[in-house]
């Protein structure tokens, strides 16, 4: 008790979690972000990198080539130029089964663990020997003082082990294993406030247009109330460029980002791609309205590497008639002098997961 009292009065007595960096192993990149506490309630982005993965290193969220991924992670860490070797990683949401259950409160830790296991046995489709189980007490159960709501998360061991092995190959230590969608939502939390006009009570659709996949999730009162995933992303645009202008894929990928494509790129390639993305968004919203009690959203947040494509934000706003913003989880943070603000604005939408993972450094000890 006394120790607790002291700890709250004297910052330095409180056990600090060791510093860590956030690392997102996505379908096409390894992304790293380091955030530090700048004091006075302000965070500062210290450094970040986005390093491309060779094709087929990661497929459908599985690490197909641990050695190749390890090499890229090692290179990325070197480019970061940080001394921190502890990292927070995340599993793809599809690799994790989660379930909320109600259990008796006031239990000893061991008893709770035992109960979690027997609950898990009922809904996990494989043997418990093959899975890693984790649980978190969310708070008191809605209608009872004696019970608590518990979130159980389970993932196949090999999914976790593969990621940890990639980190080890790069000389890094995994100290936190999170879930991609949770990390992205932690980054979304950082965006709420006066500047973005987004509040918790609002209904917000977060649309992530990545390299391979477009994911739409709808948030309300800090709860995810809808999600949908489609195979559509920037790699398709790269392929379209390659086909239209007879370029190798690698060249098309560079040209897409640096500009300098022929004049008809806009109308003949980019515009039709944006149309596809917008169609997917309007479809997802339609499904959301018909499958829930809701009939509007207040905001659309576009994230992922394709968020800054020319004309996309405007097209989404115009077609959905909803307030639309491009994600920037760093908008309320200070930047170290090493970071170029303009480049960060372009990269920020693709760094949601890495940012959310980097924030795990500030977990209460
Ligand atoms: N400045 C840019 N201009 C155009 N396209 C870009 C730009 N930056 C990134 N992209 C594209 O965005 C895509 C990568 O986005 P992101 O980093 O969100 O993907 P990812 O997380 O690897 O993919 P996924 O979520 O599907 O696994 C690539 O197709 C890339 O070419
Ligand atoms: Mg992604």
Give, using CA atoms, the residue closest to atom 10 of ligand 1.
305
Query: How far is ligand 1, taken at its centre, from the CA of residue 353, in Å?
Result: 13
Q: Give the whole-angstrom CA distance, residue 361 versus residue 326.
A: 25
Q: Hey, where are the domains in the chain?
A: 1-94+157-195+331-365, 95-156, 198-327
Top-tier CATH class for 95-156: alpha beta
Query: How far is ligand 1, taken at its centre, from the CA of residue 267, in Å?
Result: 21
Query: Which of 241, 305, 347 should be mutated for ligand 1, with most atoms under 8 A from CB?
Result: 305
Q: What is the per-residue pLDDT across 297-347, written as a single tens digit (0 to 9) for each?
A: 999 999 999 999 999 999 999 999 999 999 999 999 999 999 999 999 999
pTM confidence score: 0.91
Lookup: tokens for 175: 């100290």
Query: How far is ligand 2, taken at its centre, from the CA of residue 115, in Å?
Result: 35
Q: What is the per-residue pLDDT across 250-294, written as a single tens digit (0 to 9) for each?
A: 999 999 999 889 999 999 999 999 999 999 999 999 999 999 999
Residues with CB under 6 A from ligand 1: 26-29, 210-213, 233-235, 238, 253, 256-257, 304-306, 308-309, 346, 350
Q: Is the pLDDT of residue 164 over 80?
A: yes
Contact 56, 121 (CB under 8 A): no
Q: What is the per-residue pLDDT across 202-216, written as a single tens digit (0 to 9) for each?
A: 999 999 999 999 999
Two domains, one topology: 1-94+157-195+331-365 and 198-327 = yes
Question: How do 203-209 and 214-220 pair as beta strands?
Answer: antiparallel
CATH number of the domain located at residue range(s) 198-327 in this protein: 3.30.420.40
pLDDT confidence band for 22 (50 / 70 / 90): very high
Residue whose tokens read 């996990």: 124
**37-64: b (≥16 Cβ within 10 Å) or e:** eeeeeebbbbbbbbbebeeebbeebebe
Q: Determine the topology of domain 1-94+157-195+331-365 in CATH.
A: Nucleotidyltransferase; domain 5 (3.30.420)
The closest-lying atom of ligand 1 relative to the alpha carbon of residue 353 is 21
Q: Is 259 left (phi over 0), alpha (psi -120 to 50) or beta?
A: left
């Amino acid at each position: 008790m006394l120790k607790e009292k002291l700890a709250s009065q004297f910052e330095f007595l409180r056990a600090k979690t060791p510093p860590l960096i956030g690392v997102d192993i996505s379908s096409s990149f390894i992304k790293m972000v380091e955030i530090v506490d700048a004091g006075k309630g302000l965070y500062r982005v210290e450094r970040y990198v986005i390093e491309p993965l060779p094709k087929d290193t990661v497929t459908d969220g599985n690490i197909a080539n641990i050695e190749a991924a390890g090499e890229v992670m090692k290179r990325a860490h070197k480019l970061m130029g940080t001394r921190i070797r502890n990292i927070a990683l995340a599993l793809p949401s599809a690799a994790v089964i989660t379930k909320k259950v109600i259990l008796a409160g006031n239990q000893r830790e061991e008893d709770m663990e035992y109960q979690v296991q027997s609950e898990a046995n009922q809904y996990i489709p494989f043997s418990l020997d093959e899975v890693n189980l984790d649980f978190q007490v969310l708070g008191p159960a809605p209608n009872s003082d004696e019970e608590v709501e518990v979130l159980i998360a389970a993932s196949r061991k090999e999914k976790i082990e593969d990621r940890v092995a990639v980190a080890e190959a790069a000389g890094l230590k995994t100290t936190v294993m999170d879930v991609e969608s949770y990390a992205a939502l932690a980054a979304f939390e950082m965006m709420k406030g006066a500047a973005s006009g987004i509040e918790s009570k609002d209904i917000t659709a977060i649309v992530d247009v990545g390299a391979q996949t477009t994911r739409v999730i709808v948030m309300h009162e800090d709860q995810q109330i809808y999600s949908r995933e489609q195979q559509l992303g920037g790699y398709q645009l790269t392929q379209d460029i390659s086909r239209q202008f007879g370029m190798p894929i690698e060249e098309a990928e560079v040209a897409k980002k640096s500009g300098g494509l022929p004049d008809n790129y806009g109308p003949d390639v980019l515009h039709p791609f944006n149309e596809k993305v917008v169609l997917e968004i309007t479809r997802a919203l339609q499904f959301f309205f018909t499958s829930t009690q809701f009939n509007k959203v207040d905001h659309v947040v576009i994230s992922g590497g394709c968020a800054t494509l020319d004309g996309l934000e405007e097209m989404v706003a115009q077609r959905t008639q909803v307030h639309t913003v491009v994600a920037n989880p760093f908008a309320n943070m200070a930047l170290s002098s090493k970071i170029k603000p303009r480049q960060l604005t372009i990269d920020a939408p693709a760094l949601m997961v890495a940012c959310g993972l980097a924030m795990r450094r500030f977990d209460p000890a």
